[in-house]
Amino acid sequence: MAIPVIMPRQGQSVETCIITKWFRQKGDTVKSGDLLFSYETDKAAFDVESPSDGTILEIFYGNGAEVPVLVNVALIGNAGEKTDQITTQLSGESIPPEINHQSFETLVQETSVLQADAADETREMKIRISPRAKRYAEKKGLNFYGIRGSGPNGRIICSDIENAVSPTEGKMDQVDVPGDEFTEQPLSNVRKLIARTMHVSLQNSAQLTHHMSADVRNILEARRKIKEGLKNGSEKQDITLNDMICLCVIKAIKKFPEVNAHFFDDRIKMFNKVHLGIAVDTPRGLMVPSVKNADDMDLQTLSRELKSSAEACKKGNINPELIKSTAASFTVSNLGNYGVEMFTPVVNLPQTAILGVCTIINRPADLGNSTFGFVPYIGLSLTYDHRAIDGGPATLFLREIKEQIEKFSH
Amino acid sequence: MPKSQNIDPKEVRKPQFLEFGKIPVNQYNKSIDEEKDSFSTDDFVRIYHDMVIIREFETMLNLIKTKNEYKGIPYNHPGPAHLSIGQEASAVGMAYNLDIDDFIFGSHRSHGEILAKGLSAINKLDEDVLYSIMKNYFGGSALKVVEKGFAGPMKELAKHFLLYGALAEIFARENGFNKGLGGSMHAFFTPFGIYPNNAIVGGSGDISVGAALYKKINRKPGIVVCNIGDASMGCGPVWEGISFATMDQYNTLWDGEYKGGLPLIFNFMNNLYGMGGQTMGETMGYGILARIGAGVNPEMMHAERVDGYNPLAVIDAFRRKKEILNEKNGPVLLDTLTYRISGHSPSDASSYRSKEEVEAWQKEDSIIAYGNTLTASGIAKQEQLDEIRDEAGELLTHILKLAVSDEISPRLDLQKDPDVIGTMMFSNQSADKMEERDPEVLIPLEDVPRVMSFKNKERFFKDKEGKPVSKARLFQLRDGIFEAIIDRFYKDPTLAAWGEENRDWGGAFAVYRGLTEALPYHRLFNSPISEGAIVGTAIGYGMCGGRVIAEIMYCDFLGRSGDEVFNQLPKWQAMSGNIIKMPVVIRVSVGSKYGAQHSQDWSSLVAHIPGLKVVFPATPYDAKGLMNSALQGTDPVIFFESQRLYDTGEMFQNSGVPEGYYEIPLGEPDIKRSGEDLTILTIGATLYNAIKSADILVRDYGIRAEIIDARSLVPFNYMPVIESVKKTGKIVLASDASARGSFLKEMAQTITEIAFDYLDAPPVVVGSRNWIIPAHEMENAFFPQPEWILDAVHEKIMPLKGHVCKSDFTSAKSLKLNKEGV
């Protein structure tokens, strides 16, 4: 039986060795202890002696070959012996290193996707806020966009949120008044939310309001036609004055993208689409649902969407995502029904402006040819954040709304 | 220097010559017939047998390593195997005369010594005792394996047990002598008197001295043999161990039965090479190693070179040397000349020695030569010897099969219990004393002058009228440490303390003042200036079962005991499989005023090393309570003290430092002052500067800081800190350690991870500068000052209205300094 000569393992880290020189050839007879070949590892050189007397029947690896350790290098046996059975198979236990390149690449890809996602999110969220302050703001339902951070590098720290929530905390003296003169009710959550949002808005931005009036003879005529059409069946859907005003506003917004935006301390996010917020009075308090992509809608669609949003708010089943201040890009608040002649609506931060729609008043006007008469005018009150928009563009925007209303046709 | 010994200038200035006596080299020359009086035929044959067993064991490992196979059994052993083929006669000769009570320590190349001592112990032990040892070791797990299907005499069974326990340990199997956690270079089996081998060259050089001290101080029977290689003669700790072992005081100052030399043999297994370096002719200059003894002490360490290729010569030498030790004339230096036929390790190409040299030694092979002697003298027939060799091969085949089987010999299941090694890092026991007997003291505790003086001390820093107490009347931090230590000296008879200036001086910082009057020399003594050996001997003392306090005078000197603190002290509990305990307290004093090499806080370095407990109290109350806990435990504790605080009184416990015994658990931080707005966590003396900064914060900015004193670094209960951070949202961490890589950074990271959502700012570390420590007059630019904490708060946490920063804590500065590496 032929005896294999193996490449010894010299040290645990050695996986292959290089045969530097064979001192014998195939067919040579050798004695136990005769030098067969020399080989080297990365660290040192070694010699291999013949393990027994016999003839070299086979040499599997020649000079210069790199041979895995524990592999058969040669066979020694009796001349003429059959050697088919023995090849260079590994002798004993050996574990070749396995590296799964495929899975590694996948892993790299997945990692880079994750990183890209994270980077996108960072671009969205460049506001600096401490984890504690953020947590506290969320607990208090406070929108911290626009809050000025007093920490290092403008970081919003917890005390900033605390000040935003209750700036006068501890300063209001409690005066004891004998009973029966008032009742106290705890604030509902919606009330608390409104209170904070409105207060934060006024505290953290530079708001001012421009007033203007628009001749509504065309729009009232359109409204009259629609009502008539409903009666004779040529129109299927009622359209309110508010729907029409909103359509005019949307058209104006498309010309003044800076009002269709969110303002942050270090940047302005301008929207390509118009997401119109509409203030709705509900039994629980004011809500501002957003109609997404309102600029894609015709009057009928817009009307339907505004109506269904308002109803959802009143019923209380509105999607909470739609009533966040970040859901809308611009807001309209209509107090015309209540006879309000002018007001200063409060900007829903981080939005940059809000349009207040007032009641219609007949005003004396020059009808041409030195004839004066009464013309119905609707009051428009535009509050804007001067941090984001200057007075000039704001005025031009308001005038564009006025013109859209005045040239309205249906 | 003790006052009892005067150094007379007239005497020491006298001219004279030093003369050295003769050191015997290979002087054994008895014939086998002469030895027949000392050995029976069985003894002669047993010596041969033991050598053959070792040879076969090592040959088997060599084949496993190089060919992954022994006698048809395939196995892959990735771990180390430093073999001693050729050195069998030295090992067997060394162990032959040793009793169970005699301990051996080893090196990385000690398989042969383990087996030789084990076989020697088996031969000497009563069968019932032997069986009881095997049965009780780890619940008899190894015994069950070798007992299965075994029919034969008890001593044969024990041989199987020894070979299996050692081999299973080398292969990292749970049935191994140390649960597979020691391995080839650390295996040991204390019931047979086999103490740790050591993978660090010369590692046993000072540890074994500690073991000898344990025997001497606690009057335990037996001697200690330190088996180390010739090349370890180049290692500092070995020289330190020799210095420690040969101090004059054992003969001049230690009293009564404690008088006399250590029962210790430094046995240099001199195979003439340190890995590939030739110690004789290349890397050392002694020529013949035994020469070293001549310079060490007047006894020349009874040094001798013995022919380690002749087992009878070695046996003869050990018998003679043991007598010297029994007469209390130790220690002894033995140069046991031998030769390693095998490589340093299986990857050794022997490129540093010629084939002719190896062949020449093979011709002198100790087993063949001894066998020939036996047959020539008619003691044994060749067939009998051949049979011994065949049987050894069969036995090793049988043992190997058992040891490589994953079913019979599984490893610790780290899948099932991923934390099992963690459970072995510490023994976590509570023990008043390590042994039951009366402690030896010189006077009753209540008569110790310093203890008496405490009656007149104020244990709080202010008196009843609220006035600060004068230093002379104040119970200080050093008193707190002293009170805990002297209490333990009167409780635990094994407790001993040593270090530089520990005795008459009372320690460099007067912590031990008063102990000299209370304790005999053997319980409190001065050491040579050998920090490595101060710790190394404590390790040896501790692992044998004694409790010990070793002192490193300045923290900066810890570097001198680097190997002992980093590689030895923390490792042996777990590497023993929890067989041994390590009740060792290392007192480390952090300096100030003395500049760059005497003022460093290196607590972070030791806290980094798994297996050490690390504390750093800053108040007398904490110092006493933590020292009590450290001395009650069974784990190694690095006990940091600050030289700035030794004379500090207790400022936080209004009732002062209790007179009685109390423990503060290691690992519990302490809230020194409550606050709502900011947490300041300190380590060590910085506590007091943090308090100053907290005073400014509340006075000038209305910010109420909560101050937490870490007290411990390892272990550390983060919960009180996390609770505080949940409350305040802000944390500053401060200590005197250089900021880069300090333990504060570790704490800051852990706090961030656990309490991220509660943080209002990143945890801010205020540490010392990454410089050399300048002179005392300039120290305020180096160590954290109260203003630094304010600056850090202002710059990194929250703006302090109107605050003007004096130091630069901006990110830009931090980036710049890091880039510069300062």
* CA distance to partner chain B, nearest, from residue A34 (Å): 13
Q: Do A11 and B346 touch (CB under 8 A)?
A: yes
Q: Which CATH number belongs to the domain containing residue B555 in this structure?
A: 3.40.50.970
Closest to A44 (Cβ–Cβ): which among B67, B349, B797?
A: B349
d(CA B721, CA B681): 8
Taking CA atoms, what residue in B is nearest to A134?
Answer: B757
Q: What is the pLDDT of residue A3?
A: 86
The domain made up of A131-165 has a fold known as Dihydrolipoamide Transferase (4.10.320)
Cross-strand partners of B25: B305
Per the structure, the count of domains in chain B is 3
Same domain, B603 and B696: no
Estimate the crossing angle of helix B204-217 against helix B236-245, to 10 degrees.
Answer: 20
Closest CA to B486 of B534, B530, B454: B454
Q: Which two tokens stand for residue B662?
A: 């109390």
Residues of B with catalytic function: 598
Q: Which residues of A touch B349 (CB under 8 A)?
A: 10, 43-46
pLDDT in tens, B36-70: 999 999 999 999 999 999 999 999 999 999 999 99
pLDDT in tens, B347-396: 787 889 999 999 999 999 999 999 999 999 999 999 999 999 999 999 99
Phi, psi of B381 (to 5 degrees): -95, 155
* CA distance to partner chain A, nearest, from residue B136 (Å): 35
pLDDT in tens, A354-366: 999 999 999 988 8
Compute how many other C-beta atoms are within 10 angstroms of the C-beta atom of residue A249: 26
Cross-strand partners of B764: B732
What three-state secondary structure class fits B572?
Answer: helix
Same domain, B506 and B360: no
Buried residues in A181-207 as b, exposed as e (16+ CB within 10 A):
eeeeeeeeebebbbebbebbbeebbeb
- Total-model pTM: 0.77
The answer to whether position B761 is within a domain reads yes
d(CA A231, CA B456): 109
Say if CB B380 and CB B374 are below 8 A apart.
Answer: yes
Lowest mean pLDDT segment, chosen from A103-107, B171-175, B630-634, B798-802: A103-107
Same domain, B634 and B706: no
CB within 8 A of B320, min separation 6: which ones? none
Closest to A10 (Cβ–Cβ): which among B79, B347, B758?
A: B347
Closest CA to B210 of B241, B186, B187, B240: B241
Q: Do B758 and A41 touch (CB under 8 A)?
A: no
The answer to whether position B489 is within a domain reads yes
Q: Do B761 and A152 touch (CB under 8 A)?
A: yes
d(CA A187, CA A168): 17
Same domain, B473 and B593: yes
What residue has token string 């049987």? Answer: B391
* CA distance to partner chain B, nearest, from residue A104 (Å): 24
Q: What is the DSSP letter of B744?
A: H
- pLDDT surpasses 90 at A201: no
Q: Which residues of A touch B76 (CB under 8 A)?
A: 92-95
d(CA B611, CA B567): 10
The answer to whether position B801 is within a domain reads yes
CB within 8 A of B621, min separation 6: which ones? B480, B650, B652, B653, B656, B657, B658, B664
The answer to whether position B10 is within a domain reads no
Q: Strand (E) positions, B160-231?
A: 224-229
d(CA B734, CA B682): 5
Buried residues in A22-31 as b, exposed as e (16+ CB within 10 A):
bebeeebebe
d(CA B341, CA B354): 12
Q: What is the pLDDT of residue A116?
A: 41
Closest to A157 (Cβ–Cβ): which among B69, B795, B798?
A: B798
Closest CA to B170 of B154, B156, B187, B153: B187
What three-state secondary structure class fits B55?
Answer: helix
From chain B residues 349-378, the ones with a CB under 8 A of any chain A CB are: 349, 351
**What Rg do the C-alpha atoms of chain A give, in angstroms?**
42
Say if CB A386 and CB A368 are below 8 A apart.
Answer: no
d(CA A184, CA A187): 9
pLDDT band (50, 70, 90) for residue A319: confident
Residue B798 in contact with partner chain A when CB distance is under 8 A: yes
Q: What is the pLDDT of residue A371?
A: 87
Closest to B760 (Cβ–Cβ): which among A14, A93, A130?
A: A130
Residue B795 in contact with partner chain A when CB distance is under 8 A: yes
Q: Which residues of B touch A133 (CB under 8 A)?
A: 760
pLDDT band (50, 70, 90) for residue B310: very high
Same domain, B586 and B708: no
Q: Average pLDDT, whole number, for chain B?
A: 96
Q: What percent of chain B has pLDDT over 90?
A: 97
Q: Report the DSSP pairing between strands B224-229 and B264-270.
A: parallel
Q: Which CATH number belongs to the domain containing residue B790 in this structure?
A: 3.40.50.920
DSSP B4-40: TS---HHHHTS----------BS-----HHHHTTT--
End-to-end CA, chain A:
106
CB within 8 A of B753, min separation 6: which ones? none
d(CA B327, CA B341): 37
A and B: number of Cβ contacts within 8 A? 84
Q: What is the pLDDT of residue A85?
A: 65
Same domain, B317 and B195: yes
Interface test with B, best of A7, A12, A134 (most B CBs within 10 A): A12
Same domain, B124 and B228: yes
Q: What percent of chain B has pLDDT over 70?
A: 100
pLDDT band (50, 70, 90) for residue A90: low
Q: Which two tokens stand for residue B73?
A: 């059994």
Q: Do B74 and A131 touch (CB under 8 A)?
A: no
Q: How many residues does chain B have?
A: 822
Same domain, B614 and B715: no
Residue type, B729: G
Q: What is the pLDDT of residue A121?
A: 40
Name the residue ranges covered by the structural domains of chain A: 3-77, 131-165, 207-406
Q: What is the DSSP letter of B521?
A: G
Q: Which residues of B touch A95 (CB under 8 A)?
A: 76
pLDDT in tens, A324-350: 888 999 999 999 888 899 999 999 889
Q: Burial level of B742, CB count in 10 A (0-12/13-18/19+)?
A: buried
Q: How far does Cα A42 stand from its chain's mean position?
A: 54
* CA distance to partner chain A, nearest, from residue B260 (Å): 48
Closest to A158 (Cβ–Cβ): which among B65, B69, B729?
A: B729
* Domain A3-77 grouped into CATH 1.10.240.10: no
Same domain, B815 and B702: yes
Domain A207-406 in this protein, CATH class: alpha beta
Same domain, B628 and B721: no
Closest to B78 (Cβ–Cβ): which among A12, A92, A155?
A: A12
Q: What is the pLDDT of residue A125?
A: 44
Stretch B476-498: mean pLDDT, rounded?
Answer: 98
pLDDT in tens, B284-306: 999 999 999 999 999 999 999 99
Q: What is the pLDDT of residue A291?
A: 93
Taking CA atoms, what residue in A is nearest to B756?
Answer: A131
Torsion region of B593: left, alpha or beta (phi above 0 gives left; psi -120 to 50 gives alpha):
left
Say if CB B264 and CB B245 are below 8 A apart.
Answer: yes
Residue B758 in contact with partner chain A when CB distance is under 8 A: yes
pLDDT band (50, 70, 90) for residue A180: low
d(CA B658, CA B773): 36
Q: What is the pLDDT of residue A126?
A: 67
CA distances from B684 to B603, B625, B679, B709, B737 (A): 10, 15, 16, 8, 9
Q: Average pLDDT, whole number, for chain A?
A: 82
Print the domain residue range for B730: 674-820
End-to-end CA, chain B:
42
* CA distance to partner chain A, nearest, from residue B404 (Å): 12
Q: Do B347 and A133 touch (CB under 8 A)?
A: no
Closest CA to B245 of B283, B204, B281: B204
A207-406 matches A131-165 in CATH topology: no
pLDDT in tens, B403-420: 999 999 999 999 999 999
Say if CB B286 and CB B233 are below 8 A apart.
Answer: yes
Same domain, B395 and B486: no
Q: Report the DSSP pairing between strands A285-287 and A261-264.
A: unpaired
Global ipTM: 0.74
Stretch A181-204: mean pLDDT, rounded?
Answer: 76
Closest CA to A285 of A314, A306, A318: A314
pLDDT in tens, A367-377: 888 888 899 99
d(CA B666, CA B664): 6
Q: Do A130 and B759 touch (CB under 8 A)?
A: yes
